[in-house]
Chain A
Amino acid sequence: MRGSRRAGMLAWWLLLRRLVRVALLPACLVGGSAQAALQEPRQASVLAAPEIPRTPPPPAAAWAPVSLPDDAGYSRPGRDKMPAWYRIGFDYPDDPARQAQWAAYVPYFYDGGDLWLNGTLVASVQENTDRVYARTYRPLTAVFPAPLLRPGRNELAIRVAAPKGYPLRFPRVGIGPQAETQPLHDRRLFWTRTVPELTVLVSVLVAGFVVFIWWRRRNEVLYGLFGLAAALWATRTMTFLIDAMPMAQWEWWRVIYQSATGGFVVVMAVFTLRYTGVHRPGLERGLLVYWLLGPLSFAIGGFAAEPFVARYWLGGMMVVGLLIIATSIGYARRRGTLTSAALSAVMAFAVLVGVHDYLITWDPRLLGRFLPEWVGHRIHLLHFGSNMLLLAMAALLTARFLRTLSSLEDLNRTLETRVADRERELAANYARLAALEREHAASEERQLIMRELHDGLGSQLFTSLSRVERGDMNDDQIASALRSCIADMRLALDALASDEHDLSAALGNFMFRWEAQLVAAGVRPRWDIDLPDDALTLSPHAALQLLRVAQEALTNVLKHAQATQVQVRLCQREGMLEMDIEDDGRGLGPDPPRQGHGMGNMRSRAQRLGGALELKSTASGTCVELRLPMSAATA
């Protein structure tokens, strides 16, 4: 990750160094021209008139001296938009060794025209006419045919077509071996032609990409603004790629060009305001209204309004530029980060070069006082500034995007750990809950067992002990009491220890034991069990109470009834568990006992389960009837 970032930075650095070298090369060559054969005469003659001949005027014509580079706006204010002939003298060496292929290099030849060497036409560039607007940014190289050159003084005559809207401007012409002029030509071509081409291409691509992002994420307005700025800039820069255009189209193009240029500045301002967090809807509306003034001027004044729009409306955009600088510097001071400082520096640079270009176009002399050589080269810098600006914006948005991504990742990580924590907590809670439940169940179970011990075995043992101590029991009675205790305990074990909580399991043991006991006592048992096979799931406690009642009833039959048969019926009917124990013994007599014979015990057990117990005399004996609601018994 880190390595790749470093490698990326290295690549950027190499690219930057190469660009700087390319940019500085022409300056070196210009600076080093004194030693070379290249001649760049400062002195020349000019002949400007409303109408000028197609062939070079004779030396006797009204030539006037002029120094190059020439800006007609200053050198001949009244006639600055007239076509002109320039005459430039140069020396061709006598030495055949130095007579290489010579050429003239004209850095800019905006309005087109012809180039004559010693009275012979050697080059032509499409001219401005009434019907065609020609304004090329390509430099011109005119190769000299060797026969036309003569050792000593030679003369170059250049016809410059009349400009439209701007004063006529003519550069210092470089004359010398083509080996020396060609690199100058190539450098200038790169900066004035290739760079705008690249700018258009890259801006269109970037605009498409960023606008697509904005289209999918409408609330990311900064992306939309950036895309719009890039699109406007691509549109505006296309003007450098037009060499000539029919007048009718050219006028429309100028409307588009000026609107795009102004629009770019306004969009930049809004972007800067939004990015730096300055929320001033009024200011943004004001900027929009100001921008609308440009197209509006065209609507009112027609194409003739262009000079006005270019000069004053675009000039006003410099104020907007100052606003951009102020905003970004304020932001940089608030934030104090490197990024914000870099942003304001780039903004300031862009605005400065914008001012520079404006001056180059409208008032070169003002700038010329400080940088005369530079102004003579007439290199427009705004696209470099704006390219940097677009680059800076792209970098900012990319940084923002990356920040968002990493904060999203952080958020995800936090969420993940939180979820994991929550899961652990839940698991712990669940374990605690399960432990509590187990504890609760165990405690309930203990309670039940303790109550069983207390009510059943305990009370029997105490009663028996008391009677034995009183001397009220003989050995047989004691043995019988103890056997009854053991039987009670077996019953509890059957019911409580059953793994299956299944009444039929406990019931099976119960029947098995009682069968033998009853048969031994001479009572024939009949078991009539009608329970569904699938699950009669009684709680162990309920099963025990039920079996206790049955045990008590059967014990009564053995002890008191003198019966020969006993029938035990158990069935489930309409949500009720019904148990009848009927014997053919001597019955209850005319006055059935309400208590005694364990009746109270049996009743209370039935009641505890929400059921009822009936003791009835039948035709042939006694019947104990137990009715339990299933819902209570299974709980």
Chain B
Amino acid sequence: MTTSVLIVEDEPEFMRRFSDAVLADAGLSLVAVVSTGRAGIAMLDAQAPDVMLVDLGLPDIDGVEVIRHAARRHPQCDVLVVTMFGDDQHVLASIEAGATGYLLKDAGAQRIAASIHELHAGGSPISPSIARRVLARFRVSPVPAAPAQPETSSPLTERETEILRLTAKGLSFDTIGELIGISPHTVVAHVKKIYRKLAVHSRGEAVYEASQMGLL
């Protein structure tokens, strides 16, 4: 069974690059390639793909809106956000909206396909600076605190915090896996869980939940 992919990208060059990468991989099937956010949402509702690859800079609506829609209506759909430099703010906003992975725009065709597979398999990528930002969002210091003060307020488990801290130091998943005695795949699975927690604890989500419950 192949992984179905929806691409939301307005630049023709990258539209072609991404669709070529998907089409070239036997394990992937292309659901649709659309160039606007609204079309993306419509395709999500019509086809419910396994993975959505979405660019943030869309002509009609913010890519974050598309991600949020996907996360709420189609939680089984993994969202991979396309970023030019992996710059933290955009990636973090996307993660808070519900994305669980990001893809650098200059990635080669193999890397693109690999990223989609990894994400669908349950693993999320993370860079040191994104790890720092995530730690900051959960109000956890990137440096371990004195053992006398356990960080009880954080929703992150100890292991998740540890993984974020090691990542922030620039260590690879392999190294981290070795250090804490788990496989690299488990490391990336932890990262995905962390992203889900971040999405739940983000403010936008809280507002959405509250409005759903009739509080606002």
Contact = CB atoms under 8 A, between A and B. Distances in A.
Interface string B141-175: 00100000000000000000000000111111000
Nearest to B87: A493
A494 to B, nearest CB: 7
Residue from A494, A509, A510, A516 with most neighbouring chain B CB atoms (10 Å): A509
Given A507-B170, A510-B170, A512-B172, A493 B132 contact: no
A516 B87 CA distance: 18
Contacts of B167: 508, 512
A505 B132 contact: yes
A508 B172 contact: no
Contacts of A490: 85-86
B120 to A, nearest CB: 21
A489 interface: yes
A527 B172 CA distance: 11
A505 B87 CA distance: 13
Given A483-B106, A527-B170, A509 B87 contact: no
Q: Classify the secondary structure of B's interface with A.
A: loop
A508 to B, nearest CB: 3
B1 to A, nearest CB: 30
Contacts of B87: 493, 497
A13 to B, nearest CB: 75
A509 B128 contact: yes
Interface string B170-184: 111000000000000
A504 B85 CA distance: 19
A388 interface: no
Interface in B78-97: 85-87
Q: Which 6 A-B pairs have the closest CB atoms?
A: A508-B128, A511-B170, A508-B170, A515-B172, A509-B128, A512-B170
B141 to A, nearest CB: 10
Contacts of A512: 127-128, 167, 170, 172
Given A483-B106, A533-B143, A508 B168 contact: yes
A486 interface: yes
A489 B105 CA distance: 14
Contact of B127 (A483, A497, A509): A509
B129 interface: yes
Nearest to B175: A515
Nearest to A487: B106
A512 B87 CA distance: 14
Given A486-B106, A493-B85, A508 B129 contact: yes
Contacts of B143: 533
Contacts of B85: 489-490, 493
A231 to B, nearest CB: 78
Contacts of B131: 508
A541 to B, nearest CB: 18
A494 B170 CA distance: 13
Contacts of B106: 483, 486
A507 to B, nearest CB: 6
A505 B127 CA distance: 11
A500 to B, nearest CB: 8
Nearest to A490: B85
B173 to A, nearest CB: 10
A295 to B, nearest CB: 91
Nearest to B128: A508
Contacts of A533: 143
Residue from B87, B167, B168, B169 with most neighbouring chain A CB atoms (10 Å): B169
B205 to A, nearest CB: 24
A448 B130 CA distance: 25
